[in-house]
C-alpha cells in the first residue's frame, strides 16, 4: 500500500498548491480586480475541496467547512470589504476550534500546555502594542483572539503538532504581520513578503495534518 493510498483526490491537493503558491505573483505585482480575487481563493478553496473529497465522517467535513469559510474570507476581504471577510474567517475559526476541542490531545507536556494557554493573552498584548491607540484598534484585537484561540486549540489537539499545530501558528503569525504593517511597526513593503506565504503555508499544513490523520484512521 502506497504512502498516499488514503488520498482520494491528490490532484486537488496539487491544484491547491499551484493556486496558493502562484498567487504570490499577484501579491508581488499588487494586482487587483475580480479575476485576481477569484485567483486568491483557489489555494484554500481547493484545499477545502480536497478535504471534502477525503472526508469520511463528521470531523472530515468540519475541516472542509473551516477551510471553505477561509476561502470565502479570502474573496470577501477584497471583493466586498474587511468586515464581511472577517466574519467569514471568524466562522471558519469557530468551526476549527470545535473540531480541535473534540479532538484534544490526551497528554501534553507542561511547555505544550503553557503555549496553548499563552497564545490568546500574548496575541492581545502584541496587537495592543502595535495598534493602540489608533481608532478602532480593538476591532483587530477582538478578531485576533479568534485566530489565537484557533491556534491554541490546534496546538493542543491530537493532530500532528508539526503540521496542524505549526500551521495554525503560522496562520496567527500572518495576521500579526498584517497588523504590524497597519500599525507602522513594519513597512508594508516588508510584510508583503510574509503575510501570504505564512497564511497559505499555514492553511496547507493545517489541512494536511487533519485530513491525512482522519483518512488514515478511517482506513484502519
1 lies in some domain: no
> What is the number of other CB atoms lying within 10 angstroms of the CB of residue 148?
26
175 lies in some domain: yes
pLDDT digits (tens, 9 = 90+) for 88-115: 999 999 999 999 999 999 988 898 899 9
Give the chain's domain count: 1
| Per-residue model confidence (pLDDT) at position 2 | 56
| Per-residue model confidence (pLDDT) at position 5 | 86
pLDDT digits (tens, 9 = 90+) for 117-173: 999 999 999 999 999 888 888 999 999 999 999 999 999 999 999 999 999 999 999
90 lies in some domain: yes
122 lies in some domain: yes
Range of the domain at 212: 10-219
pLDDT digits (tens, 9 = 90+) for 55-71: 999 999 999 999 999 99
207 lies in some domain: yes
| Per-residue model confidence (pLDDT) at position 1 | 43
2 lies in some domain: no
Alpha helices in 80-109, H assignment, sequence order: 82-101
Amino acid at each position: 500500500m502506497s504512502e498516499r493510498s488514503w488520498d482520494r483526490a491528490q490532484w486537488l491537493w496539487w491544484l491547491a498548491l499551484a493556486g496558493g503558491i502562484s498567487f504570490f505573483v499577484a501579491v508581488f505585482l499588487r494586482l487587483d480586480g475580480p479575476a485576481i480575487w477569484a485567483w486568491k481563493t483557489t489555494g484554500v478553496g481547493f484545499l477545502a475541496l480536497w478535504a471534502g473529497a477525503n472526508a469520511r465522517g463528521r470531523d472530515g467535513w468540519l475541516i472542509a467547512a473551516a477551510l471553505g469559510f477561509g476561502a470565502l474570507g479570502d474573496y470577501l476581504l477584497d471583493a466586498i470589504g474587511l468586515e464581511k471577510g472577517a466574519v467569514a474567517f471568524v466562522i471558519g475559526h469557530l468551526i476549527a476550534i470545535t473540531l480541535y476541542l473534540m479532538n484534544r490531545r490526551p497528554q501534553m507536556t507542561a511547555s505544550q500546555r503553557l503555549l496553548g494557554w499563552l497564545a490568546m493573552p500574548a496575541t492581545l498584548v502584541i496587537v495592543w502594542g502595535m495598534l493602540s491607540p489608533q481608532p478602532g484598534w480593538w476591532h483587530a484585537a477582538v478578531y485576533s483572539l479568534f485566530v489565537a484561540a484557533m491556534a491554541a486549540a490546534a496546538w493542543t489537539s491530537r493532530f500532528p503538532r508539526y503540521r496542524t499545530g505549526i500551521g495554525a501558528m503560522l496562520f496567527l503569525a500572518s495576521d500579526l504581520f498584517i497588523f504590524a504593517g497597519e500599525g507602522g511597526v513594519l513597512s508594508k513593503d516588508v510584510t508583503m513578503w510574509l503575510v501570504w506565504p505564512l497564511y497559505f503555508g499555514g492553511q496547507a499544513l493545517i489541512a494536511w495534518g487533519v485530513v491525512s490523520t482522519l483518512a488514515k484512521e478511517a482506513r484502519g
